[in-house]
């Protein structure tokens, strides 16, 4: 197992845009880890004076707890970069305030590391499967990392909820804000350097998926907007216009991929009458965003997306989870502050 008796085996970085008001659920969850006493937690919060917003009692469960005052936080990735620089564990893991690891998550992640691995990713489980819309969100996000899949080497790990060898991140310290603003950049960089990623399906984390139409369609649109803008860089205007005009057709491949990925996942609802139409609307929102990206060019930062990444209660919709463990954690959350963009 990485680490030694004198230090942390794992550093976990969490970001709270509203301080500890929305970090209490994940901190309580991490406190229940089987190796909590070997974990260093680094909480990146906006307060200038940590004593004005003290961490909850669960912070005492860990080997070490660090509060990093980052000033105003908008983008989760850039704040996570600040926290990463304070990590001392052999392995660094990222997680979110709305993603709840199983009690043996940390133990299994760090036990998986061998000298040739740059990262180990967990399986992502749908934390609120009672909602059809949560399955739509899951299909568009973490479905590729479902727990029924085998242990394997993978090209990409689940963003925001995965682990890396700390020394590799330290080697990229001057670029971390850029690389973690879109974590896929970090993964590509590590792969270019010969790093390999392992998928560990028995190390699970339950992700609370978006379950309101506003969030499902909004996230799909802005993800499409970002994708289309990047894809069209260097294209002539004739090609941009052609792709933008064909945006309804672009939803077809997206829908097929979502259906292919979610079909074998245990526990999903029947495709008809709700899931299939909802998946198609999600694909259409993404393709509309693509069309705007083709016409307007690249843009990486969107207030809607940056706000959504910190939501817990606002994700739930009409059907909160029935899982008692998840419900207990959610009950510790406070609504996001009024400063969130609408």
Q: What is the DSSP letter of 147?
A: T
Can you say whether residue 33 is alpha, beta or left, with left for phi > 0 and alpha for psi between -120 and 50 degrees? beta
pLDDT at 274: 87
Q: How does pLDDT run across 139-161, given as a tens digit for each residue?
A: 998 999 999 999 999 999 999 99
pLDDT at 4: 46
Sign of the dihedral through C-alpha 213, 218, 221, 226 = negative
SS3 93: strand
- Name which of 290, 300, 282, 330 is nearest 138 in CA terms: 282
Burial zone of 71 (CB within 10 Å; 0-12 exposed, 13-18 middle, 19+ buried):
exposed
Report how far Cα 170 is from the mean position of its chain's Cα atoms.
21
- Name which of 85, 3, 69 is nearest 37 in CA terms: 3
pLDDT at 52: 65
Q: How far apart are CA 218 and CA 285, in angstroms?
A: 8
pLDDT at 50: 60
Spans in the chain with pLDDT lower than 50: 1-6, 340-342
pLDDT at 210: 97
Torsion of CA 334, 146, 59, 33, to 10 degrees: 140
pTM, rounded to two decimals: 0.93
Tokens of 217: 């369609």
Q: How far apart are CA 112 and CA 273, in angstroms?
A: 41
pLDDT at 340: 43
Please answer whether residues 9 and 2 qualify as being in contact, where contact means their C-beta atoms are separated by less than 8 angstroms: yes
């Amino acid at each position: 197992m990485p680490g030694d008796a004198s230090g942390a085996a794992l550093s976990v970085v969490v970001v709270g845009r509203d301080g500890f008001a929305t970090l209490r659920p994940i901190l309580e969850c991490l406190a229940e880890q089987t190796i909590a006493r070997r974990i260093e937690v680094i909480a990146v919060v906006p307060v200038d004076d940590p004593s004005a917003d003290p961490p909850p009692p669960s912070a005492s469960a860990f080997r070490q707890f660090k509060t990093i005052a980052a000033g105003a936080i908008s983008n989760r990735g850039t704040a996570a970069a600040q926290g990463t620089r304070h990590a001392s564990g052999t392995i660094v893991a990222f997680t979110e305030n709305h993603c709840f690891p199983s009690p043996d998550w940390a133990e299994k992640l760090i036990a998986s590391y061998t000298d040739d691995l740059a990262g180990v990713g967990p399986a992502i489980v749908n934390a609120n499967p009672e909602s059809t819309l949560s399955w739509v969100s899951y299909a568009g996000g973490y479905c590729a990392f479902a727990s029924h899949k085998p242990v394997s080497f993978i090209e990409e790990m689940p963003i925001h909820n995965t682990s890396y060898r700390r020394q590799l991140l330290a080697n990229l310290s001057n670029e971390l804000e850029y690389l973690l603003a879109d974590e896929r950049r970090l993964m590509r960089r590590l792969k270019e350097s010969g790093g390999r990623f392992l998928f560990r399906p028995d190390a699970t984390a339950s992700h609370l998926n978006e379950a309101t139409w506003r969030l499902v369609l909004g996230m799909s649109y802005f993800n499409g907007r970002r994708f289309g803008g990047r894809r069209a860089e260097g294209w002539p205007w004739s090609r941009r216009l052609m792709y933008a005009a064909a945006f309804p057709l672009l939803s077809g491949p997206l829908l097929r991929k979502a259906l292919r990925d979610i079909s074998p996942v245990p526990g999903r609802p029947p495709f008809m009458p709700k899931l299939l139409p909802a998946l198609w609307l999600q694909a259409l929102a993404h393709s509309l965003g693509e069309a705007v990206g083709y016409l307007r060019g690249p843009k990486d930062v969107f207030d809607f997306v940056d706000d959504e990444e910190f939501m817990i209660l606002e994700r739930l919709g009409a059907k909160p989870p029935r899982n008692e463990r998840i419900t207990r954690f959610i009950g510790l959350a406070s609504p996001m502050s009024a400063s969130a963009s609408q």
